[in-house]
Amino acid sequence: MAMSAGQPGRPPTASTTAVVAGSRGVVGRFSSSASRSFRQLLRRRTGIFGLTILVIFTVIAFIGPLIAPEDPNSSSSFSDAVLQPPSSEYWLGTDENGRDVLSLLLYGTRVSLLVGFAAALVSAVIGAAVGISAGYFGGWTDRLLTAIDDWFLVIPFLPLAIVLATLLDPNDFPGGQLGILILVIGITGWAGTSRIVRSQVLSVKERVFVERARALGASTPYILRKQILPNVLPLIFANTVLIIAVAILTESTLSFLGLGDPTRVSWGTMLDLANGAGALAQGAWWYFMPPGICIVLVVLAFTQVGYAVEEIVNPTLRERK
């Protein structure tokens, strides 16, 4: 009879075998799968392009305020050089208040990326919780959560976000108006993640290792934490990357409509200020084009990385290639 390596002289019990195969095995497979997926991502040209752009903008978000020529939020940044074109003194020209556009752009990178990542995290948490609950418990729980999911899928996304951002009071939220934007984008963008996660959970909960753990008396929280969640995390991650792109675009749209935080510079608020100053009519392209180009590049980069990751973790997409 084979003996347990950890306890000589004692054979492995059925529960021990189930725990190793059902929990550590799943977590180990997910960890190795994540490492393998990252290597596969680097083999794709779209993945390399997206990651390169994202690394550049992430570095700018961290060091932007340190390398900016001036602090656009200070009173000393205002000057008489109103809407001046790019020059040796102002590399990207100035705005309607005489502030350096390059400094506005560098400071705005951190805010735009912060809103994108934070809102996507909120969306991912809500979508994963709803999708796992609906798929695993089934019955009336599934019907109720699916009905709510359907409602969020069919309702117009942008009008709902505008209404919520208008009605909520910044004084009631940490971070003020910026916190409202993160919350609004997060709670209006989780439905797609929930639908994908629910479909995967419906398949995972019928697999052998889950049935074995359930038969051995494993608790529901244990099964959800150790066996269901590791198997849906790759899909959650892939969908979250795509949500970040949508979140950044939505923040820019809401800020352009005047619903952003007036005390913090973002790419969206730059577009709003440029529009209000008549930069387009005056031909001040250096004011509105840089933030617009940054938005397009970041959204494109996140989209490319998201599609590449989704292709890696989704066997159906790989078979279509």
pLDDT in tens, 85-121: 999 889 999 999 999 999 999 999 999 999 999 999 9
User: Where in the sequence is the domain holding 153, given as residue range(s)?
Assistant: 57-287
In a domain, 195, yes or no: yes
For the domain that residue 209 is a member of, what is the CATH number? 1.10.3720.10
pLDDT digits (tens, 9 = 90+) for 171-226: 877 778 888 999 999 998 899 899 999 999 998 888 888 888 888 888 888 888 88
CA distance 38 to 47: 10
DSSP class of 155: S
E-only strand ranges, 23-135: none
**Residue 243, in any domain of the structure:** yes
Question: Does 297 map to a domain?
Answer: no
Residue 17, domain member (yes or no): no
- Res. 154: pLDDT tops 80: yes
Alpha-carbon distance of 160 to 184, in angstroms, equals 9
Of 146-155, 157-166, 285-294, 308-317, least confident by mean pLDDT is 308-317
The fraction of the chain above a pLDDT of 90, given in percent, is 39
The answer to whether residue 13 is domain-embedded is no
Give the integer Cα–Cα distance in Å for 29 and 118.
28
The confidence band for 9, taking pLDDT boundaries of 50, 70 and 90, is: very low
CA quadruple 112, 113, 115, 119: dihedral, nearest 10: 140
Which range is most confident: 3-7, 56-60, 158-162? 56-60
Nearest residue to 193 via CA among 246, 238, 127: 127
| Helix, strand, or coil (residue 100) | strand
pLDDT digits (tens, 9 = 90+) for 232-284: 888 888 888 889 999 999 999 999 888 888 888 999 999 999 999 889 889 99
Element (H, E) at 211: helix 208-215
Q: Please check whether residue 162 lies inside any domain of the structure.
A: yes
Residue 27 lies inside a defined structural domain of this protein: no
Q: Which of 136, 254, 137 is nearest to 186 (CA)?
A: 254
Total structural domains in the chain? Answer: 1
Burial of 233 (0-12, 13-18, 19+ CB in 10 A): middle
**Residue 35 banded pLDDT, cuts 50, 70, 90:** low
Q: In this model, does residue 140 exceed pLDDT 90?
A: yes
Helix (H, G, I), strand (E, B) or coil at 94: strand
On whether residue 42 sits in a domain, the answer given is no
CA distance from start to end of the chain: 48
